[in-house]
Every structure is written in C-alpha cells, then in structure tokens.
Structure 1
C-alpha cells in the first residue's frame, strides 16, 4: 500500500515538471447569428413615444367642444330668427334682433373656420399616424426574427393561455359579482371638461352690479322654457329685492327684459329679501339666503309668496362662512344654492363641522324641507364656488386672474371624494361671484364682476 502511494506522487511530480508555464490554451468561437440591431430598436421606441405624444385625448375633446359650440349657436340662431319674425315692428326691436343675429352669424363663421382648420389637422394627423403604425408593425416583425430562442412567441402563447383560463374560470364561477354603484344620479355620469366661454355679455347694466347670479330654470313652467333669470345685488353688493326675467338669450344679451321684474318686497333690505349672490330658480320659484338669517327662502314667482327653511343649528351666516381665495373673500356667500337634474341643493358650513363644506338636499314643495345631509372634508374658505351636476358636488378654486380650477368633487351616491379633478376654466373676468349648472342645456352660468358668461359642460 505504501509503495503505491509513492509511485503516484512520483508520477504527478514528473508531469508537473514537463508542463511549460509559458504555454496558453485558446479556442475560437464562431457566431453564425446576426448581431442584434440595438440602434434600430431605439429608433422604434422613439417613434412610438412620438406617436403617443401626438395623439392625445385633448385633441378629441377640442373637436367635440367645437362641434357642441356650433350646435348650440345654430340652435340659438334658429330661435332668434323665429323671435325676429314675431316681434319685428320695423323699428327698435327689429333692429336690435337683427344686430343680435348678425353677431351670432359672425361667431358661427368663426367657429366653422376653426372647426375646418381643426378637422384638416386631425385628418393629416390620422394619415400620418396610420402610416407610422404600419411602418412600426413591419419593423417589429423584422426584429422578431432575432428571437431565435422563441421567447416572444412563448410569452404570446402564455398570454393566450391566461386569457383562455380566465374565460374558463368565469364560466365555472356561478357567483354573480356585485355591480358597481352609479357615479351619479343621472345618465351623464362624471364631469370630464368644460369648453371655452360660449356666451359672454355685459347685459343691461355693464359694470354697475358686481355681484349677482343668472341662469335658466331646470324645471320651467309651460311657455317659459326659453326664459332666463337674473338677480343683481343692487344694494351694497349684498342685497336685492327682485328677480329680472328675459324671454330669450338674445333678449338678455341686448338688455331687453320683456317680462320685467318680479318684486319680492318694495323695501330693500327687509324680511325675506335676498342676501348674497348664490341664488337659483327652480320650478318657478327663486331659492336664496334670506336677509339676516340662517334660512333658505323660497319665493314663488306666480303667487308672490315666500316660505322659509331654517338650516341646522350652528350654520354660519351674515358673512361668517364665505367662499374665499388667497387675496380676498366673497362677502355674504355663506349659503350657496344649487340645482341639477334631481332638484335643489344647499351648500353651507357649521361651527360643528369646523368650516368644512356641508351639503343638503332640499325636499320639493311649497315649503322647503331638508331631505338628507352629507359632510365633506374640504374647507369652505379654500373654495371659491360650488355647483351640482348629476348628484355630484363640484368645488372650484382661484388659480389666477385668467384661470379658475374645478379641483374637487363629492359623489352623493358613493360618498367618494376627489381632490385632483384638474379641470381648468378660462375666465373673462378675475372673479366668479356665482356659478350655476343648468341641466336643461348642460351649461355652467357664471356671474363675473357684472358680466354673464356660460360654459358647455362635457360628461364622460
């Protein structure tokens, strides 16, 4: 056994001595595959990124906004021509109506020119995108040839199997999944954008009354479907004692109030007259903050009667719970009345809610009552205005003198709050004293430093 070990060690020593330390081992590797074109892949990725940046949802919304604006203008022009035919006396009213029609035709021409330009741009964009997509498809098919390990094909096969497996699981699953709650109380669902201003007028008294409200009755009386209403705070930008009516939009624009004023009281201010700008008309009745009280007043324009509703204990009023922005607050905006497809709402705040917005639905009837109340987590003084649309509360804030942002929403059906809505409105004047939504024509009616402006609302 010992002799065997000695011989093995000797043999190993002899082999080590014979190997030369300067000799190296080398092998030659021949790759028969083509080199992967990394530069070509980088160009494809760049083209895809460019294509995504060129085609955005905003371009579709822009075209839709123009079409909606044109539709509104043509409908309004038709109504104004019918009015001209009825009221043309060959003198004052005929000249005024012709002037309105001439302005509307000029605006229609401008809209059509912009629409033609936008349509041509979209056609060019579509043609270019189609061609680019075809090129990208060919290039990707070429790049797939370098997948010699069949990795891509394997991934595609796995994805197809997952889809088949999911379908099979759905068939086997007998449990019915619960449906998602609706986004609002009407078919239009959520707000996605607002257009540029569609109506802009200084009205009868340009620059005279900075605070007020205007709009349309969402549930008008028979024969008053085309009427508009206007409330101007004629005393110290705080109080008013009448509502002014117009038979059409053209009458409001040129300042001809055919029905005239409907007076709440001969004195101003006094018990049950208007305090603050946030008023609405619904079902032939004006809803507003009663003078010097934490009450909602309902003034029936036909019977001239006033009924009241006291809000919950602790409700802030008399300019103690206003809408504000960084530079100033809007005085006597404690209560904000709003309308939508379902009726009348009131937005306010209380001492118990530490200044956060509170929303209540009003029960319809000759004497208003509270139906249900919701509490939010948005601070009222951080808000400049609110409005209701499809059962959803929206709040705005001041960005600068030219822009206002719809930043917040509260869904009364789901209870969901959102603070990142991010819809921007271009203003015709720095301040918006009141903002009302009209479900009749899906328009936002804003009263801005005595100017009347309206925006088309776009829903998802």
Structure 2
C-alpha cells in the first residue's frame, strides 16, 4: 500500500525536473480585422485640401463682378442709342454719336470676351471639382468600413442632434439684429447691415500697387455720372501724383481707362502731391493729405490747380509749433548741464517732426501714412484725424468747398484712433472699423454729427477678401462701400431701412 503511493510521487518529481525554464512569455495574436490604410487617408486629405484651394469665394466673385458690370453697361448703351435715334441730324452730330456708341460697343465686347473666358474657366473647374468630389465620396465610403466601433456614425448622429437642437432654440430665441446707429438726417433711413462683396476685381494692374483708394464722385460733373476714380500709391507704397479715371464700372473691371490719368505734378513725390491712401473725390476735385504736411489738399481735375487747407495745431502728423519751440527752449536751458541730455532732446525734437504718427492700426501693426482720412458722403467732404490735445482720439471736421477750401464745424470723439483700422462717412454719421480676423472686419463704432451720440456696439461685420483694408469710401450714388485691399478693388452693398 505504501509502495503504490511512493511510485507516482517519484514520477511527478521527474516530470517537473524535465520541464524547460523560459525567461519570456511569447504569444501569437491573430487579428481578424484588416489593417487601416493610412496612406489612402493621407491621399484623401491631400485631395480635399487641393479642392478647397481651387474653389474660393474670389473666383465666384470674379464672375459676379463681370455680370454686374455688363448689367450696368447695357442700359446705358440703350439710352445712348435712343438719344441718337431722336436727335440724329445725319451730319456732324450723328457721326460723333456713332463714334461714342462704337467705343461703348468695343468696351462691351471686351467685357463679354472676359466674361466668356471666365465662364469657360469656371465650367472646367466645376467639371474637375465634381469628379474630385465623387472620387472623394467613394474613398471615404471605403474608409468608413474600417470603423468597426461605429465612431463616425455616432459623431454624425450627434451632429444631426445638435443641429436640430440649435434650430429649435433659434425658433424660440430669434437672432437679434445688429445694433442700429441713430437715425440722423438720411434720405435712405438708418444703416442696418452690409452685404457682399458685390465687386471684386484686380483691374488693369493685378498684383501691383498694394495701397490705394477708389470710388465714385457723390457730386459728379455733367456727363460723368457713371465715372469711377482710382488712386494708387505708386512710389514706395506711400505717394502718388495722379488720379486715374474710368468711364464706367465695366471699364474699371476690364482695365480700360478711356480718360486716363490726370496728373497733379510730373514729380512723385513733391509739393502738394498725394501722401497716404485715404483720399476722396467730390465735385470734380480730389481731396487728400498733402505731401509732408498736416494739410488737406484740393486738386481741381478741370483746372488742374491745387489749393490747401491747414489743420489745427497739434494735428498728429508733423510737429506742432508749441512742442518744437518748447523743445528748443529746453535744449538751451540744459545745454550747459549735461551733454547727453542735449542729444536726447535733439532726438525728441526729431521725433516730433516725423510723419505717420497718428495712423490707423490693427492688432499686429499700423497702416503707415494714414494720419488723415478724407471721406465723402451725401453732404460733402470730411476729414478724420487726431491731435495731441485730444490724446489720440478721433477728431472729425467738415470741409467746405471753395478755392481754397475751409474748415467748418469740428466734433470730438472718445474712440482712440490707433484702436481703429478705418473710417468712412454716410449720411453725416462717422463709422469706424476694427480688425477681427483675416477674414472679418467689424463696423463697431458710430458718431452721429446731428445728435452727437456715439455708440460702440454697432456689430456689423464685413467679409474681407484680403487680410487688410487700406481705405474705405462710401458712394451715396448707389449706397456702395468701396474698399481697396492689397491691390484689389472690392465693394459692398450698404443696406438702409
């Protein structure tokens, strides 16, 4: 009995001693799922990125701008033809009228050629994009098969649920309209909102002349009701010595200037030529910041004469006499004390004499040589600037026509100029903008000259086509706001109610 127990125990000991010892535990894992194709996902992302870069709002607006130019040009052509039919004498008048109509037909043909070329380009782009999108859809459907945990499906369901909740919430709490500026005296009513862009064009100098301004004359001369003007800073992005005219919007878009340039002076820059991008045209005269002065210049396009209007002492452009004289007195009194103080005061005097000290600014930088902003609206010409006495806040003055022009009433605001990117006037109300992002600018401030009420919560947003807007000009002729952005001309429709 005892022997039977001992024998199996010896066998167990023997087996245990024969088992091999191992330092690591190895296991084989067999995955029944297919490996995720990361290279295919990367290809899809690259194709989607290329598709986004090919389809931009700028390309759509190019076609809309051409259509708008043609839409405005054809009624004018019909009007000219009806005049010719009524007043044709078969002799000199008829010949001249036919020449005018021939020129108009040539411009319309150029506009239609550009429109056809752009349309063909857009058709090819649409076809290619459709094929790319279909290919992307198929590839994404294939990739979705790897989502065995259905994460994507749950995300899509959550997005649909969130959209439905937001829609339900908006139905019970409608989105408030932007805060409306005061009524003032405006034939159009109150400024409610802005839409667009309606026009986006590079004109005849695509990619050149980053700084400038353009628009329409609110008080045009007879026969020039449809004309547009353009000022480009052609020297160092600071100076200009001429204004360029276009007989119609289509001429501007196509880049054909019939009237051509009207030159202020043959040299650029020189006395009384243009400095900075903030200029305006009113009553056949160009108003701008005179070269190297804190004066407003008025250039009569017909007589080609320049008259000037000096702004108050202390305007943040060049040195006012008071700080400069005080600086000289200080130099004299301290000359015999410390030599280094003398040199410091010299530097201080030079600082006071520098231009471009009261500029518009965004979060990153300031727009050089924007000390004076000349704006036009239904009532005439305005100059927006700042002074040392007002601690850099915006100052608004009415400019009266004449030879020379004169300064009328002045208003003082509480908005700091370097917190503003641009200003414009509409119906006697000053509006100021600020930078929100590369895509958005906000009209955030208004000052009504009739009530002297200012508001900081306007909340009207401008969709930008370029990161920077260097000038804004309101046109009361068609209630359009014209912007000059990195060599492009853009316009927006202002909505009044």
TM-score, with length taken from structure 2: 0.61
Deviations 1:183-213 (A, max 9, x none): 2232223211001100110011111100000
Superposition pairs for residues 277-288 of structure 1, below 5 Å?
A: 277-288=277-288
Distance 1:100 1:184, change over 3 A: farther
Give the 3 Å change call, closer, same or farther, for CA 95–320 of structure 1 in structure 2.
same
Query: Once the 2 structures are TM-superposed, how far is the Cα of residue 310 of structure 1 from its aligned partner?
Result: 0.3
* Structure 2 unmatched ranges of 5 or more: 1-64, 82-97, 121-181, 318-354
| Partner Cα separation in structure 1 for residue 241 and residue 103 of structure 2 | 33
SS at structure 1 position matched to 2:424: strand
CA contact (8 A) 1:189 1:390 kept: no
- 1:153 aligns with none
Residue equivalent to 2:423: 386
Classify 1:87/1:424 alpha carbon distance in 2 versus 1 (closer, same or farther; 3 Å).
same
1:440 alignment partner, one of 468, 473, 477: 477
| Structure-2 separation of matches of 1:406 and 1:356 | 17
Shift in CA distance, 105/360, structure 1 to aligned 2, threshold 3 Å: farther
Distance 1:365 1:105, change over 3 A: farther
Q: Distance in 1 between matches of 2:397 and 2:406?
A: 10
Residues 61-460 of structure 1 mapped to structure 2, 5 A cutoff: 75-79=71-75, 82=78, 86-88=100-102, 93=107, 95-99=109-113, 102=116, 183-317=183-317, 318-460=355-497
Distance in 2 between residues matched to 1:103 and 1:438, nearest whole Å? 30
Q: 1:279 to 1:415 in 2, by over 3 A?
A: same
- The CA distance in 2 between the partners of 1:201 and 1:225, in whole Å, is 21
Determine if contact 1:445/1:455 at 8 Å carries over to the other structure.
Answer: yes
**Residue 191 of structure 2 contacts residue 495 of structure 2 at CA under 8 Å; is this kept in 1?**
yes
Q: In 2 relative to 1, CA 453–94 (structure 1 residues): closer, same or farther, beyond 3 Å?
A: closer
Residues matched between the structures, number: 323
Mapped to 1, the partners of 2:209 and 2:408 lie a distance apart of 34
1:80–1:97 CA contact under 8 A, matched in 2: no
Q: Which residue of 1 aligns with 2:345?
A: none
Q: C-alpha distance in 1, partners of 2:495/2:109? A: 35
- Structure 1 SS opposite 2:314: coil
Contact kept? 1:239, 1:273, Cα under 8 Å: yes
Give the root-mean-square deviation of aligned CA atoms.
Answer: 3.1
Distance 1:269 1:76, change over 3 A: same
Identify the residue that residue 54 of structure 2 maps to in structure 1.
none
Is 1:87–1:93's contact at 8 Å kept on the other side of the alignment?
no
Cα 1:351–1:302 shift into 2, 3 Å: same
- Give 3-state SS (helix, strand or coil) of 2:316's partner: coil
